[in-house]
């Protein structure tokens, strides 16, 4: 049977389980928003709060509004949170108030109650060692802490997970481009035969897509590094000591070892989350690129006997519960599903970005959660696709050469010699009769076998 203690907030008394660190406001939210239970608020946001609460404590102490002993207690609990020691003390869901107030208070209450324990006291007994609002939340508002936490979390996720994953796959695609540089194959446009190119050139396009997407993503980082903390309720910085915004950003940069700065305009930082929209837009661009790459790979590898089959990909696991020996392009399928999720997340983030009414955006939690999910998914999926598919791609040169030499579009090389219309007549006749280009070119009297062999060379049709 669960035992309870009594916690109080401005709305009165609340029963809270005795074995938890959270308090009254967390418990109210836990009971009022049973949507998507169990907890769905990403821990990365909680850790972002831990960084900023520690930084705020140091700044408040430095500016003379918080005693050192309270600073040290707050910092100690924040370090414990960052070590993952209290992960189970953050039970709230994404689907709460749009400012994330309850999550802010969840962190404040956990820090205050844990500090009470560290001071040698029992939670629920005696006067609190730290007050959640007056001490832990000093010089802060949920309206500037939550966007600060989401920026910290998103920035860290991008540089620790997303960007390394993309860079690893990009490196492999560049390597494959060089490896396949001399493999001449038939090109395809509109899913129909086209003029030749090399398999290396084809892969160079994939590598270039990721390079541009990676550059676009990195270009969003400076905006994401701007922090709202110091704006408090509406952006004016009410109830903060002079110099607070700059100092607290400096401490966050120090604690995270990342280039965070205070936002130039706090009104934008609270009322609009364009930095999240911008960064996720770059993730959407990458999702579009990755979807194209994965689809090309699985179509090029289709078969093994009744498809295109120009490349082979690793056989990682059985592909069917009924068809023995079947192997499927599972990494391609996983990656394209990730891309679909990211593009869906972008819609939610775009809609969320529109919900800045006057001085506050009220879709912060869902924007943060979708951003973090996309960043994690793309990073993980790139690593998985790289390790279990891209690195093992091989060229099936026999199939490539057969399809290349059988293509009617090699006739394009004759355009400068005999003109478009005669060349088209050769191709159409060969297709109708099921013969080769060379046979029909000679039969129609437009050139000799020697001329055909001299002029129609696939390796000379792939550019410089």
Q: What whole-number distance in Å separates Cα of residue 192 and Cα of residue 268? A: 50
Residue 120 marked as a ligand binder: no
Structural domains in the chain, sorted by start: 4-138 (1.10.275.10), 143-398 (1.20.200.10), 408-460 (1.10.40.30)
312 annotated ligand binder = no
The whole-angstrom separation of Cα 464 and Cα 454 is 18
Strands (E) in 135-260, as ranges, are 184-189, 192-198, 226-227
CB 235 within 8 A of CB 266: yes
> Each residue of 8-26: pLDDT tens digit?
999 999 999 999 999 999 9
Is 175 within 8 Å of 203 (Cβ atoms)? no
Report CA Rg, the chain. 30
The C-alpha angle 96, 105, 113, rounded to 5 degrees, equals 140
Contact 373, 162 (CB under 8 A): no
Whether residue 38 has a cis bond before it, omega within 30° of 0: yes
Counted residue by residue, the chain has a size of 464
Query: Considering only CA atoms, which of 23, 43, 215 is closest in space to residue 133?
Result: 23
SS3 394: strand
100 has binding-site annotation: yes
Q: What's the average model confidence in pLDDT over 405-434?
A: 97
301: Cβ contacts below 8 Å, ≥ 6 apart: 307, 308, 309, 310, 311, 312, 313, 329, 393
Q: Is 141 annotated to bind ligand?
A: yes
pLDDT at 127 over 80: yes
pLDDT at residue 246, as a whole number: 98
- With b meaning 16 or more CB within 10 Å and e meaning fewer, what string describes 176-189? bbeebeebbbbbbe
Helices (H), 34-162: 43-62, 68-82, 101-118, 142-157
Q: Is 121 annotated as a binding residue?
A: no
Average per-residue pLDDT in the chain? 97
Residue 462 is labelled as binding a ligand: no
d(CA 403, CA 409): 11
Which tens digit of pLDDT belongs to each residue from 60-102?
999 999 999 999 999 999 999 999 999 999 999 999 999 999 9
| Sequence-distant (≥ 6) Cβ neighbours of residue 190 within 8 angstroms | none
Look up tokens 């120090």; give the residue: 254
Percent of the chain predicted with pLDDT > 90? 99
DSSP state of 9: E
Q: In degrees to the nearest 10, what's the CA dihedral of 278, 226, 87, 130?
A: -150
Query: pLDDT tens for residues 228-282?
Result: 999 999 999 999 999 999 999 999 999 999 999 999 999 999 999 999 999 999 9
What is the CB-side half-sphere exposure of residue 366 using CA atoms within 13 A? 21
The verdict on whether residue 143 carries a ligand-binding annotation is yes
Phi-psi region of 264 (alpha: psi -120 to 50; beta: other; left: phi over 0): alpha
The yes-or-no verdict on residue 464 having pLDDT over 80 is no
> Where does residue 290 rank: exposed (0-12), middle (13-18), buried (19+ CB within 10 A)?
buried
| 326 known member of a binding site | yes
What number is the average pLDDT over the span 183-189? 98
Rounded to an integer, the average pLDDT of 121-131 is 95
Active site residues: 190, 320
Whether 328 has a binding-site annotation, put simply, is yes
List of residues 6+ apart from 396 with CB closer than 8 A? 309, 310, 311, 312
Two structure tokens written together for 207: 């590598």
Q: Which two tokens stand for residue 132?
A: 């959640």
Give pLDDT, residue 245.
98
Can you tell me the distance from the alpha carbon of 425 to that of 449, in angstroms, rounded to the nearest whole number? Answer: 17
What is the average per-residue pLDDT within 161-175?
98
Q: Give the pLDDT confidence of 342-391 residue by residue, as tens digits.
A: 999 999 999 999 999 999 999 999 999 999 999 999 999 999 999 999 99
Number of helices (H) and strands (E) in the chain: give both, helices first: 18, 10
Joined together, the tokens standing for residue 238 give: 């009410």
Annotation-wise, does 443 bind a ligand?
no
Tokens of 172: 């492999």
Q: State residue 39's pLDDT score.
A: 86
Contact partners, residue 7, CB within 8 Å, separation at least 6? 13, 14, 15, 16, 23, 24, 27, 124
Listed residue (5, 136, 153) closest to 78, CA to CA: 136
Annotated binding residue 177: no
- Residue-wise pLDDT tens digits, 128-159: 999 999 999 999 999 999 999 999 999 999 99
SS3 of residue 315 by DSSP: coil
The whole-model pTM stands at 0.96
Residues 318/239, Cβ–Cβ less than 8 Å = no
């Amino acid at each position: 049977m669960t035992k309870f203690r009594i916690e109080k907030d401005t709305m009165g008394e609340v029963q809270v389980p005795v074995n938890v660190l959270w308090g009254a406001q967390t418990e109210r939210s836990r009971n009022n928003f049973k949507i998507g239970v169990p907890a769905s608020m990403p821990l990365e946001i909680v850790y972002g709060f831990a960084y900023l609460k520690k930084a705020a404590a140091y700044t408040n102490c430095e500016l003379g509004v918080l005693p050192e002993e309270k600073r040290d207690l707050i910092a100690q609990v924040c370090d414990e949170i960052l070590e993952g020691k209290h992960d189970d003390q953050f039970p709230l869901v994404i689907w709460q108030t749009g400012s994330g107030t309850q999550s802010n208070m969840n962190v404040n209450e956990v820090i205050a109650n844990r500090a009470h324990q560290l001071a040698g006291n029992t939670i629920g007994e005696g006067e609190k060692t730290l007050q959640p609002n007056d001490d832990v939340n000093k010089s802060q508002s949920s309206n500037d802490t939550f966007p600060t936490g989401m920026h910290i979390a998103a920035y860290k996720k991008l540089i620790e997970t997303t960007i390394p994953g993309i860079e690893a796959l990009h490196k492999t695609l560049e390597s494959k481009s060089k490896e396949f540089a001399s493999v001449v194959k038939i090109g395809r446009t509109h899913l129909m035969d086209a003029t030749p190119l090399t398999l290396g050139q084809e892969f160079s396009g994939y590598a270039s897509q990721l390079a541009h997407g990676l550059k676009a993503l990195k270009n969003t980082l400076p905006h994401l590094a701007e922090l709202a903390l110091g704006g408090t309720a509406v952006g004016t910085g009410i109830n903060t000591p002079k110099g607070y915004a700059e100092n607290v950003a400096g401490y966050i940069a120090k604690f995270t070892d990342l280039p965070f700065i205070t936002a130039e305009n706090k009104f934008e930082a609270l009322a609009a989350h364009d930095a999240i929209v911008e960064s996720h837009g770059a993730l959407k661009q990458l999702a579009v690129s990755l979807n194209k790459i994965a689809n090309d790979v699985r179509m090029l590898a289709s078969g093994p006997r009744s498809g295109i089959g120009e490349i082979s990909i690793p056989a990682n696991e059985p592909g069917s519960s009924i068809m023995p020996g079947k192997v499927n392009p599972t990494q391609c399928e996983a990656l394209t599903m990730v891309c679909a999720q990211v593009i869906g997340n972008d819609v939610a983030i775009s809609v969320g970005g529109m919900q800045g009414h006057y001085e506050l955006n009220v879709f912060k939690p869902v924007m943060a959660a979708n951003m973090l999910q996309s960043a994690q998914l793309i990073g993980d999926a790139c690593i998985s696709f790289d390790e279990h598919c891209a690195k093992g791609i091989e060229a099936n040169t026999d199939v490539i050469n057969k399809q290349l030499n059988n293509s009617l579009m090699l006739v394009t090389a004759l355009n400068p010699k005999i003109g478009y219309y005669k060349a088209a007549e050769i191709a159409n006749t060969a297709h109708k009769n099921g013969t080769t280009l060379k046979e029909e070119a000679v039969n129609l009297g437009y050139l000799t076998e020697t001329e055909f062999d001299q002029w129609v060379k696939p390796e000379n049709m792939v550019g410089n």
